[in-house]
Structure 1
Amino acid sequence: MDAAPASRTPDRAAPHPHLVFALGALSAVAWGLTALYFASGRGRHDFLGYSKGQDFINVWTAGHMVLQGRPAQVFDPQAFLAATHALFDPKLPPHFWSYPPTALFATVPLGLTGYVAGYLLWSAAGLLALAWAGRRLFSGRLERWLLLASPAVAINLLMGQNGGLTAALWLGGAALLDRRPAAAGALFGLLTFKPQLGVLLPVALWAGRRYRTILAACASALLLAAASAAAFGPGSWQAFLTQTLPTQFSSMSVWQGPYQWFAPSVFMGARLAGLSSPLAFAAQLPFTLLGAVLVWRAWRRGGDPPTRAALLFVATFIATPQSSAYDMIPVAAAALVIARRSRGLADAILAALLWAAPWALLPLNALHAPAIPLVTVWAAVRLAQMSGEPQEPSAAAPTA
């Protein structure tokens, strides 16, 4: 049966003002760099020759291809690149589509827009979804605004990615878990369009005996998959399995340079350290097991729900070999949980490092010094400790 304590962050004293100032200063740097990025280049192109809002070109192109009646071709790397060149610029560097057919639903409205209007619509939708989830996860206004201003949000907007949407599903599901377990499961099921981010969700839900949520998540995921097959044709799934997945695996195992700079995983850190892909996967395995064990123990034991949720967010980035800086908005939420529960200087430093991680990742990985996994492991271990510590008395959180 499902437990029923409140899932929202308790109404305790806000994080220490000095720590709030540090987090705000780090955010200001990240947003300043983002503004410089958009001010650079010419027209719709950035200073590197890519489209501004770099990866947004993928969802925008996919939306146009779907409305042109070519959904299965989205999963063909050559056909997709040709469409990108035809729609945007023949000189644009290569891009490819990397998601299952379930992700195509979000692209359809973008097929009706120009590039700039579509980017603004996409970004606004992600921010609104994140604001909704943040309001339900955090009872304090300070944390809600800090989450929206986090460096992770800035880099997600710079990359034109879906981090706001995935974070909203993840954070919203965590916030609704105790009061509306079926709704939480429905949100988790929708997250399957980016399955690598849900790698530890089954561990957490099973350990926490959240059986209604598990059933709702399975139903939501199956309905979404069936709807995508009906809307885009079963050929889209065949193309995804035979063309997109091999391309995605190849990109993880072979590609070098900027592609690696955005990856906070142990797997990519091992590749940057010079290990072959098989050895990098071997290096990843014990960290995947570590993340699973920490989540299982914390969710089985019970304790503070927001801290357990924060542990799940951070441990996922330890456990999955495939993730990116723009996926790390839930890690920013975890940094805020650590900041609120900080017991001293070490916790404050940890919160600041975790907060800055999506941007610090880029220069560190570029220098072949992949240190961010050390931060996420430290954070996961500390959150596992915090989840079993007693909480100060708190006011009841209002219902969603």
Structure 2
Amino acid sequence: MNMSSSPAVSSPLTAIPADIRNAQDYAALAPHFMPPSHYAYIAGGSGYGQSVAANVAAFEQWAIYPRLLRDVSHGHTRITLAGDDYAHPLLLAPVAFHKLAHANGEVDTARAADATETCMIASTQSSYPLEQTVARRGWFQLYLLPRREDTLHLLRRAEAAGYRAIVLTMDAPIQVANRRALAAQFQLPADCVNVNLRGYDLTPRFAGDGPGESRFFQGAMRGAPSWDDIRWIMDATRLPVWVKGVLHPDDAVALRDAGVSGIAVSNHGGRSLDGAPSGLDVLAAIRAAVGAQFPVLYDGGILSGSDAFKALALGADAVAIGRLQLYALSVAGALGVAHMLKLLREELEICMAMAGCATIGDIDSGTLLRQLRR
């Protein structure tokens, strides 16, 4: 396929074109394979998109040192995370409504995860039931529901389905409008619904509509997750409990001390507070605060193996891929996602080999040089 062409909306491919040579090529192709409003919703972020742009720009300030005469003939990308062994440190981040990108949605994404030995973190906001989207050794991302009994029922479903860890997302009690999606007049299609939450009471516990009350301070934020909620979830399950959405070192330390299994440094893909820093800009400080042994994931703006390398060098134990998985899904379904992950892994291996790093454990801040953003 000629990547310079501009089809209106192309059908998903059944074979990978020869001119898709890099994982990032899927980002360039995606607008041709989904309706413009769907693409606007997926690519956009909260407000004016400052944090979305920051996620990508943050990688530009780092260069990777090539090293000479290093023996990497024994090299590999294997890691251990949450007690499980994985072939590589590339995870699939929880992203809502994969059906916006492809009719088979999360089912195809999970197939690709299994084919590439990738840990997929399935989203609560899935367009297919969680029982159908569990990848081998996959994790489940959990949003707290207004009623604890509903949250507990959802948790038990995830346990019964075979998910290996729970990822609590804490950074989005308020969702700021996606101006890009609004401008494109985006609406969820009738066949794209959050099937995991059918039958649960989703009525907010607090409205903030009393005299003199704010619908944010006395409304949404009164129902926001609390430390008590985290303790309750950890008591309610034997699975490892991670917390996603950490950007401040003090929060990271408090979560470590509270006993969570690990954290994910993330600004929610730029879909929470617009103007929040990129997770990459705070990753090293968070790693220094929690110490070398505490598990830390990173997600936000990763489009290449070199991006993944930089996040690992700044302190992440593994990295999660967000929008890029939907871009690849839109182009070629499960085949596209699997191919994108294969390319990412190969790009990471090239960076490691050229930087003299035979294993993931060899990647550290000494492999990077800070440079001014262009």
TM-score (structure 2 length as normaliser): 0.29
Return the structure number with greater relative CO, CA threshold 8 A, min gap 6: 2
Structure whose residues are more often helix by fraction:
1
**Which structure's residues are more often strand, by fraction?**
2
